[in-house]
Amino acid sequence: MTHKNCTVLLVENNPDDARLVEIAFERADLKHCLVVMTGGLEALDYVKGRGAYADRERHPLPNLILLDLGLPGLSGLELLEELRRHPNAKKVPVTVLSGSNFLRDVTKAYQLGANSFLVKPSDLRKFTQAIKETIDFWLGTGKPSGPPSFLEISPLLSQESQVGGS
């Protein structure tokens, strides 16, 4: 199913990282509405349609959430846990965007209901490609040429699981 003009909620407190996502949207020619929130509590209000976000015409439920783990106040993991308890938000795909590929972060994110986990590439071209693949995969807006990079098991994670399983 192809979605057009979807709402993508980015929850990212680092303005530089938020700008990188905006640039990736521009470079990948993604036409979706990108809503940027800098804190977990504000994002929770948005998703739940509370307070300033009560008007669903102006503030629609997102079709996809891109979530950073390192948020002030309500952390990314705490927000994820809250989202998965909310009836309307529990079906919205959540991709965790993180600078960390620590196995404990990845594992905890999946345990709490993340649909995918993307380690932010440092190269803008690779980052743009990863964002495009993520959007195409979850919103069906393109024809991915193969499995999205966020679904590939990194060698580091494979090595850690082998070490733990010996």
- So what's the pLDDT on residue 149? 54
Domain segments of the chain as ranges: 7-165
pTM of the model: 0.83
- So what's the pLDDT on residue 115? 93
Task: Say yes or no to pLDDT of 41 above 70.
Answer: yes
What SS3 class is residue 105? helix
* Higher pLDDT pick, 166 / 22: 22
| 80: Cα separation from own chain's centroid | 10
What's the fold here for domain 7-165? Rossmann fold (3.40.50)
Task: Say yes or no to pLDDT of 74 above 50.
Answer: yes
Give the containing element (helix H, strand E) for 13.
none
Order of strands, edge to edge, in the sheet holding 94-98? Answer: 33-37, 7-11, 64-68, 94-98, 116-119
- So what's the pLDDT on residue 140? 81
Burial track 39-78 (b if 16+ CB lie within 10 A, e otherwise) = bbebbbbbbbbeeebeeeeebbbbbbbbbbbebeebebbb
Task: Say yes or no to pLDDT of 92 above 70.
Answer: yes
Query: What are the tens digits of pLDDT across the range 102-122?
Result: 788 889 999 999 999 988 878
Average pLDDT of the chain to the nearest whole number: 84
- So what's the pLDDT on residue 101? 75
Say which residues have a Cβ less than 8 Å from residue 152's Cβ, sequence separation at least 6. none
Identify the CA nearest to 3 among candidates 61, 53, 81: 61
Average pLDDT over residues 79-94: 93
Whole-number Å distance between alpha carbons of 114 and 10: 14
